Chains A and B, each alone.
Chain A
């Protein structure tokens, strides 16, 4: 029999590993802002704690209960936005969403200040799984809420 995921490639090794062993899970005692995301359809839940250093995000921790896609998305998001300014993180969030709904060619990278998606590109195959896109976006919903409480 063929391998379990061949044509899908959705469950990239990186995603499975981060779902199983997240590197940025937990809480921040000294969080400057917090945000929550909930998906009433499946009960998935994530909570994001953000700590700022001047204008930059210095640390992020998440507490996530959900599927592998949601868990890995939270963990890789935390990794990717650490060190970014709030506008940069918001730009990245938009770019991440665009990647999930658009074909790659139609996502113009005009803003050179936006950091690259990097490992977040592992989620690109979600395009073919519309019903699961919200799983990957849930942590970003929580981050957006957290960043809306940050005044810089």
Chain B
């Protein structure tokens, strides 16, 4: 497809100009250039609706929740708990009791490693993949070292897809209790075949956890259709605030698992001799939660759903095609990974120009990309790289911004080579 035609395709799907108006930060300048923000996979920018919902809470309707016997506390509790209903619908959970609020995806996975991990016996195994974010690797290593379980790593193909035959082999001895895998790679953009993986895991008697940190942003998520047992995501990548994440898990699992942290809110009765736990999900929410951030997450979900995943998906797919087309024309540029199905995340290298130099020079031109190992060191080693540069797209990304990226990369290469 020609450059003009891939640009036009992007335009048809979404009124991006109107969407950009809702993101105050996008009119900022960096080094006297208009900000070109291509790092949404690390954290997305926030629309006015989210900023306003949080500010409104603090201005007009705020008190601690679940404990006050007064009007303001009750209203705040309602607003907070309403987000639980919203997240349950967002993920198509069976019930609101299956939604546990955490600080982020990392905490959600640590919760599972701690509390589901407590049910595992030495000799059982957990399977992850070669392309996990450290958030879905380190907690399992810690569990392995603590509980004497085995940690198995499913390889990826050179294209960047999960090697399903090899995964089948890892499941064969029936010792695997959990398969914990990314639903979308933050480095390669690979969307993993979650339903297939869940079916394979279940056939081998294992539960399955999907790290949806990247995936929930780009597509409708239906935990029942995926056949998931655990699912995690993080608010700040979904146009919401930092400090709020979600663990979804089947209720029977949550009920069988011991608490993660102890403290206020998670108890039923307390004496010095013995305490009993609150029902799920409150058993897993010790202490005053991120009330304001949770309300901000609710606003983000409403905002995203009002645009709709159909339009978002089409927009990002068109942007990705445009970007792959434009970047292919940059001399010396190599795109890392050619997965069967990819989201709006593209990692690349450019001859011998170090990704950090690429990122710094792009930044001088107002363009924000990520460079480094992207919290996935073992994946970098698998790819034979130490670092890549990564451009990632969001609802507000314009095809012209990708053109600016490609043009600037050509100049950077000329500068170094």
Taking the nearest CB of chain A, how far is it from the CB of B36, in angstroms? Answer: 14
- Chain A residue nearest in CB terms to B354: A67
Within 8 A of A (CB), among B345-364: 353-357, 360-361, 364
Q: Is A69 an interface residue (CB 8 A)?
A: yes
Q: Quick check: A10 and B356 within 8 Å, CB to CB?
A: no
Are B364 and A4 in contact, CB atoms less than 8 angstroms apart? yes
From A20, A42, A69, A132, residue with most partner B Cβ within 10 Å: A42
Contacts of B372 in A (CB 8 A): 41-42
| The one of B361, B373, B387 that contacts A4, using a Cβ cutoff of 8 Å | B361
Interface residue A135 (Cβ < 8 Å from any Cβ of B): yes
Total contacting residues, chain A, CB less than 8 A: 23
Q: Are A8 and B364 in contact (CB under 8 A)?
A: yes
Q: Is the CB of B357 within 8 A of A69?
A: yes
- A8-B360, A42-B372 given. 15 additional CB < 8 A pairs? A4-B361, A4-B415, A16-B415, A20-B416, A41-B372, A42-B371, A43-B373, A43-B387, A65-B386, A66-B354, A67-B355, A67-B356, A68-B357, A69-B357, A132-B356
A sample of 21 inter-chain contacts (CB < 8 A) reads A1-B407, A4-B365, A4-B415, A5-B361, A7-B31, A8-B360, A16-B415, A19-B416, A42-B355, A42-B386, A43-B373, A43-B380, A43-B386, A43-B387, A44-B386, A66-B354, A67-B357, A69-B357, A129-B360, A132-B356, A132-B360
Q: Is the C-beta of B335 less than 8 angstroms from some C-beta in chain A?
A: no
B387 — which chain A residues lie within 8 A by C-beta? 42-43
Tell me the count of chain B residues lying within 8 A, CB to CB, of chain A: 23
Please report the C-alpha to C-alpha distance between residue A53 and residue B387 in the assembled complex, in whole angstroms: 39
Docked CA distance A4–B363 (Å): 10
Q: Which residues of B contact A5 (CB under 8 A)?
A: 361, 364, 415
**Minimum Cβ distance to chain A for residue B172 (Å):** 35
Residues 3-46 of B at the A interface (beta carbon under 8 Å): 31-32
Chain B contacts of A41 at CB under 8 A? 372-373
Taking CB as reference atom, which chain A residue is nearest B404?
A1
Q: How far is the CB of B29 from chain A (nearest CB, A)?
A: 12
Q: CA of A19 to CA of B361 in the docked complex: distance in angstroms? A: 15
Interface residues of A (CB under 8 A from B): 1, 4-8, 10-11, 16, 19-20, 41-44, 65-69, 129, 132, 135
B334 CB-CB contact with A under 8 Å: no
- Say if the beta carbon of B151 comes within 8 Å of chain A: no
CB neighbours of B371 from chain A (8 A): 42
B373: chain A residues within 8 A (beta carbon): 41-43
Q: Is the CB of A68 within 8 A of B32?
A: no
8 closest A-B pairs by beta carbon, nearest first, are A43-B386, A67-B354, A67-B356, A8-B364, A68-B357, A67-B357, A4-B411, A42-B372
Tell yes or no: B412 within 8 A of A by CB: yes
A8's closest neighbor in chain B, by CB? B364
Residues 365-390 of B, flagged 1 when their CB comes within 8 A of A and 0 if not, give 10000011100000010000011000
With CB as the reference atom, state the residue of chain A lying closest to B408. Answer: A4
B308 CB, min distance to chain A CBs, angstroms: 37
- Kindly report which residue of chain B lies nearest to residue A6, judged by CB atoms: B364
Would you call B354 and A11 a contact (CB within 8 A)?
no
Whole-angstrom CA separation of A132 from B373 in the bound complex: 15
| Residues B354 and A68 in contact, CB atoms below 8 Å apart | yes
Partner of B31, one of A8, A11, A135: A8
Measured between beta carbons, the chain A residues less than 8 angstroms from B415 are 4-5, 11, 16
Q: Is the CB of B412 within 8 A of A4?
A: yes
Report Cα–Cα, A43/B354, bound state, in Å. Answer: 11
Best-surrounded residue of B360, B372, B412 (most CB of chain A within 10 A): B360
Among B32, B365, B407, chain A packs the most CB atoms within 10 A around the CB of B365
Q: Nearest residue in A to B407 (C-beta to C-beta)?
A: A1
Of all chain A residues, the one with the shortest Cβ separation from B353 is A68
A127 to chain B, nearest CB (A): 13
Measured CB to CB, the closest approach of chain B to A17, in angstroms, equals 11
- Report the minimal beta-carbon distance from B182 to chain A, rounded to whole angstroms: 21
In Å, the complex CA distance between A20 and B357 comes to 13
